[in-house]
Structure 1
């Protein structure tokens, strides 16, 4: 019997996501950007809601290409607000557009997103306890992201994003996906 994190039991989408994606170290800047936006949309909702809508989000957000999103205006916000395939929150949509601007400003200043994110753990996944909702790296990165103009990046959201992207290894101790001590 495969033992996994308790949260991954009960729905096939959660189990598949856990087993194939969650906690896998992600070092691609664009993929980290996408997952940060999705974690922001998840605020106040269950992750399964976002998983069920992820393909719709990818279509609606032009594959999460920052250069495209940064060029959006009010017409695009209205288009997204009418899209039943995504979570329709004007504040979260505006934040996603702002994320694109912040991401590109970092890039244009010579600060690549993935190395920036990974610098908060010295490039090596930080070991969590399997039950954390916040962490020192997440708290510090939250502050740094806010300073660069990102929104919906409080310490709980950032910690969840870092877990999902493998920057923090927070699989429960008995989980088959937890890396060796």
Structure 2
């Protein structure tokens, strides 16, 4: 029997299910007991003026258009911003990379309620993906790709950080130290 991963979202709005791939099966064997996912709400108000334009090296223009409330792994990040912040303590880069691998291995569609966050926990690292202004649909590949950006820009440099999609539908993804408050940027 194939392992099945469940990811429940706020107030039972939806439950996404994906059957594990070979990679997911291998990873689930060694990390299932210490990797957790859940839901939360952003709670740490931060000023959007501190957001910086995503570096051009991370921007790849794609002519594919998507519906306003849908995000895909092919969506252009041209309107994305980021912020890295100091934290004491900081999450271990290897823990955050484990989260990226786990999220990517899920390979499933997601629906995220307005002002809700999916959380992914492993060791010292807490990854998150939040819908800021409206319910949106996306997939774990998109989420993992944005977590990669937050890891390479911030966590790899000893900081916590957030990538913010300021164009509709607005979202944020990033990493904080386990148990820390999730950022809340008013970009709506």
Whether the TM-score (by the shorter chain) exceeds 0.5 is no
Choose between structure 1 and 2 for higher RCO, CA contacts under 8 A separated by at least 6 residues.
1
- Looking at secondary structure, tell me which structure has more strand per residue: 2
- Looking at secondary structure, tell me which structure has more helix per residue: 1
In terms of Rg, which structure is larger?
1
TM-score w.r.t. structure 2 length?
0.24
TM-score w.r.t. structure 1 length?
0.24
